[in-house]
Amino acid sequence: MALNVAKKLIRAHLAEGEMQPGREIGVHIDQTLTQDATGTLVMLELEAMGLDRAQTELSAQYVDHNLIQEDFKNPDDHLFLYSSCRRFGIWFSRPGNGVSHPVHQERFGKPGRTLLGSDSHTPAAGAIGMLAIGAGGLEVALAIAGQPFYLKMPEIWGIELIGTLPDWVSAKDVILEMLRRHGVAGGVGRIIEYRGRGLAALSAMDRHVIANMGAELGATTTVFPSDEIVRGFLRSQGREADWTSVTSDRGAGYDIEEKIDLSKLEPMIAMPSSPGNVVPVREVAGQEICQAYVGSSANPGYRDFAIVAEMIRGRRVNERVSLDVNPTSRQILENLVRDGHLLSLIHAGARIHQAGCNGCIGMGQAPATDKISLRTVPRNFPGRSGTREDKVCLVSPETAAASALTGVITDPRTLGIAYPKVADPEHPLLNAEMLLPPLPPDQARREKLIKGPNIEALPQFDPLPDALALPVLLKLGDDISTDEIMPAGSRVLPFRSNIPKISEFVFEPIDPTYPERATQKAGGGHAIVAGSNYGQGSSREHAALAPRYLGLRVVIAKRFARIHWQNLVDYGVLPLTFEKLSDYGDIEKGHVLRFKNLRGQLQKNRRIEMENTTSGHRLTASHDLSERQIGVLLAGGLINWAKAQVLASR
């Protein structure tokens, strides 16, 4: 049977199940990626499991999110991660080495391999022919321990690219066009696979841009073929021996098909405050801006910085605009220095920051109140920048640079200068010196974990009760993001290894009273009701773990985002979907939902009955859980379930 790239990758790693859309499959994982905002929990989970050594082909831990060291918490966590990597046999990327996704692609990514990452933008590695999926940290911890990763077999969405990009249009505009067409939930339950003649003009890092932001469509992942473009990229990184061809078979089919003519695209912009709020730049040109921001995992390549440097060479950034430049790896920074681009940026007025995620995750570089900030980052959820009343727009480097010069949103085609032709260097400077390899097993076993005072043990949770009477503490609308459930930023993320403390910030952007009200109800638990695409965005498991710590037992939504749905299950929170959308209107904040014989209902069928004791109505909701996931829920979460499995096997 002729197979596309996605199905080839899955079939080669299939551990359990069949490749039928909607059916649960288990996939063997070759590599894992963790970053410091999520990796601290992963390391605590490995400790709780009693893991001796990573069982993957390669696991890497990056310190790229929480780089601001305003007190002891972040540096303490950096040392904890360093010691954990030495103990468990994991590569360690030191603070300041760069953003996980481009560094992993440069140094470790291999076509044909699988990668599971505790970061929702892990699919960026699909740029070089990997099956790369974002997941909650607990799933990644199990993969490090050698267990398969379980997911529902996605549909494969084939996107045929034809033509070539015109001047002033780049890879960011391709993925923004996808978001314009389909919105933030258009890829749910799907793998996006790009193919066609148009690929020939997209570099490996161009493909990284597109694959990275497939996460904003809600897609399980994005894949590109591993072709001669990928081979050339790995050759430039001194790793041509890691290349292998991964292409679709002649006649391979797709569950859904679509076409994009690259030659007809134009500069695009996602307006506040959603990646799906996309319009052509020309339609909003002229609006005053206060910041232009270049960098992040969504535009991480050498070209993304070099073209900005060329555009502003010999010019000056508008006096009202802060042009923030965030190099995505130390290696790229060195090449920008060597080729003179850094000098152009500095002389024109750009502010140069350390290699890392920085302002993308709300770690510094916050924009002014109610002022437009143009950013090449992947997300613009409300308040994610660190400013509650922000106006963040997502754009290409070309649009960011043009607007930085003029002080207003500017279609770069109207700038009146020649389009700079910039390509990735054929022989870049290489820097792997800040990547520390795993210790030999005998030496690793003698290592002790270094825990500062902010690092708390993981909380233990009880099994799912058979009867529950749950007050509804929140009723939420559509497209609630994990940034709204569990805020990022320099105030909150330093507590990522202290669940009692970080729980004080849950739902702060929506209802700051939630933690206190949840604590008052903690003995009996509580429920939340939500609209469609609940939990979109980041993979951070804190958005499930912290509410569970506060007593959350059930979430009933119109529809869930994939990663958050799985994270809820992993921490023993029952995710239910309304069978009749009209029932969403029957439940209000403060109502009480009563469940009887809940454990028995879960084991017998997919419909769960409940009573709204406030309105007097009986309601039904459904679940789409596998037998394995039901076992996880009944046990009170994945850690409890995994421990029981280990004991049963002895």
Residue 444 neighbours by CB distance under 10 Å:
18
Are 221 and 354 in the same domain?
A: no
pTM summary value? 0.91
- Output the pLDDT for position 90: 98
Closest CA to 455 of 84, 116, 65: 84
- pLDDT tier at 494, thresholds 50, 70, 90: confident
DSSP 3-state helix, strand, coil percentages of the chain (rounded to 5)? 35, 20, 45
- Output the pLDDT for position 189: 94
Are 123 and 216 in the same domain?
A: yes
Tell me: the pLDDT tens digits for 4-47? 999 999 999 999 999 999 999 999 999 999 999 889 999 998 99
Among residues 208, 233, 264, the one where a domain terminates is 264
- Output the pLDDT for position 456: 82
Residue 332 pLDDT greater than 70, yes or no: yes
- Output the pLDDT for position 309: 98
Distance (Å, whole) CA 444 – CA 91: 12
Residue 336 lies in a domain: yes
Contact (CB, 8 A) for 298 and 359: no
Sorted by sequence, the CB contacts under 8 Å of residue 343 that are 6+ apart come out as none
Average pLDDT, the chain: 94
- C-alpha Rg value of the chain to the nearest Å: 24
Among residues 230, 264, 298, the one where a domain terminates is 264
Are 362 and 377 in the same domain?
A: yes
Residue 443 lies in a domain: no
The tokens describing 150, both together, are 């379980």
Are 253 and 272 in the same domain?
A: no
In the sheet with 256-261, reading across from the earlier edge strand, the strands are 221-223, 190-195, 155-162, 256-261
Residue type, 353: H
Are 210 and 297 in the same domain?
A: no
- Output the pLDDT for position 550: 96
Cα separations in angstroms, 254 against 21, 159, 163, 225, 492? 12, 9, 21, 15, 42
Residue 447 lies in a domain: no
- pLDDT tier at 68, thresholds 50, 70, 90: confident
DSSP conformation class of 408: B
* Domain interval for residue 66: 5-16+23-264
- Output the pLDDT for position 312: 97
Tell me: the pLDDT tens digits for 530-542? 999 999 988 889 9
- Output the pLDDT for position 458: 84
Among residues 207, 232, 264, the one where a domain terminates is 264
- Output the pLDDT for position 244: 98
- pLDDT tier at 133, thresholds 50, 70, 90: very high
Cα separations in angstroms, 174 against 164, 171, 245, 404? 11, 5, 24, 22
- Output the pLDDT for position 647: 56
Are 481 and 520 in the same domain?
A: yes
The count of structural domains within the chain is 3
CATH code of the domain containing 600: 3.20.19.10
Tell me: the pLDDT tens digits for 596-619? 999 999 999 899 999 999 999 999
Contact (CB, 8 A) for 151 and 133: yes
Are 229 and 345 in the same domain?
A: no
Are 156 and 194 in the same domain?
A: yes
Are 52 and 131 in the same domain?
A: yes
- Output the pLDDT for position 419: 96
Mean pLDDT lowest among 66-75, 221-230, 374-383: 66-75
Residue 446 lies in a domain: no
Residue 526 lies in a domain: yes
Q: 283: left (phi > 0), else alpha (psi -120 to 50), else beta?
A: alpha
Residue 419 lies in a domain: no
> Percentage of the chain surpassing pLDDT 90?
84
- Output the pLDDT for position 457: 81
Q: Which residue has the tokens 């409890």?
A: 640
- Output the pLDDT for position 80: 95
- Output the pLDDT for position 523: 75
Are 392 and 516 in the same domain?
A: no
Q: Which has more pLDDT, 161 or 388?
A: 161
Q: Which has more pLDDT, 521 or 88?
A: 88
Distance (Å, whole) CA 431 – CA 643: 41
Residue 552 lies in a domain: yes
- pLDDT tier at 117, thresholds 50, 70, 90: very high
Residue 216 lies in a domain: yes
CATH code of the domain containing 358: 3.30.499.10
Residue 15 CA, chain-centre distance (Å), reads: 25
- Output the pLDDT for position 649: 54
Residue 629 pLDDT greater than 60, yes or no: yes
Tell me: the pLDDT tens digits for 390-436? 999 999 999 999 999 999 999 999 999 999 989 899 899 999 999 99
> Percentage of the chain surpassing pLDDT 70?
99
Are 239 and 272 in the same domain?
A: no
DSSP conformation class of 437: P
Distance (Å, whole) CA 397 – CA 294: 6
Residue 150 pLDDT greater than 80, yes or no: yes
Residue 291 pLDDT greater than 70, yes or no: yes
Are 114 and 196 in the same domain?
A: yes
- Output the pLDDT for position 646: 56
